[in-house]
């Protein structure tokens, strides 16, 4: 199941990587984006300068669909962060600690008051 036979040669199954399912890894990653400090960490390590990474963030939008959203344990902040990260200006400003702090505050308040 894990090893696919392509043209007689054994190629690596794209859905498995280092013991974990690809979906597990993507689900984890998209939810860890909801932590504003993680966004700061990514920005500091220049991940947002990579066009492939940005395209990957766009690809992660599939988690908005109902059949995938049900796997999110932190749906609100995750989708909010995803939405913010699609904007180029936000990605540029993510290095600003004040902005991160503001995002954090907004997230905490939204979590405390619940959906309105």
Partner 1 sequence: MLSQIQTSYQRVQQSLQRLTDSIAAYNPSTIAADELVAADDTLSEDLRTLHHHQSNVHRITDLKRRAETNDEKIKTHFRAVAQLRKDLTSIPTIESNTSSREDISVDDLLAYARYISPTTVPPTFRPRRDAHSYMKGVEEGKGEDGQMRNGVTTPPPPPPATATATAQDHTNPETTATATATTVTPHIKESTISLQTLTDPEKQWLNPTATLDFTPWPSHILIGNGALGSIQKMVESGKDPASVLSAEEQAEVDKVRKEEEEKERKEEEERARRRAVMFDAAGSAGGGLGRGRREAEDDVFDPDA
- Binding residues for partner 1, rule: CB under 8 A, are 1-3, 12, 16-20, 23-25, 27-29, 31-32, 34-38, 65-66, 70-78, 104-105, 107-116
In this structure, the chain runs to a length of 116
User: How many Å apart are CA 74 and CA 12, to the nearest integer?
Assistant: 31
Q: Which residues of 80-103 are buried (b: 16+ CB within 10 A; e: fewer)?
A: bbbebbeeeebbeebeeeebbeeb
Name the residue nearer to partner 1 (CB basis): 89 or 109. Answer: 109
Least Cβ distance, residue 111 to partner 1 (angstroms): 4
Q: How far is the CB of 40 from partner 1 (least distance, A)?
A: 11
- Name the helix (H) or strand (E) containing 44: helix 36-44
Closer to partner 1 by CB, 55 or 111: give it.
Answer: 111
Least Å distance, CB 43 to partner 1, is 15
């Amino acid at each position: 199941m894990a090893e696919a036979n392509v043209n007689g040669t054994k190629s690596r199954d794209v859905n498995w990587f280092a013991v974990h399912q690809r979906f597990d890894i993507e689900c984890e990653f998209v939810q860890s984006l909801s932590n504003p400090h993680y966004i700061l960490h990514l920005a500091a390590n220049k991940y947002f300068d990579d066009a492939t990474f940005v395209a990957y963030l766009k690809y992660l939008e599939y988690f908005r669909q109902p059949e995938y959203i049900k796997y999110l344990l932190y749906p609100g902040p995750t989708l909010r962060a995803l939405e913010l990260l699609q904007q180029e200006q936000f990605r540029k400003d993510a290095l600003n600690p004040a902005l991160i702090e503001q995002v954090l505050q907004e997230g905490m308040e939204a979590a405390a008051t619940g959906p309105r």
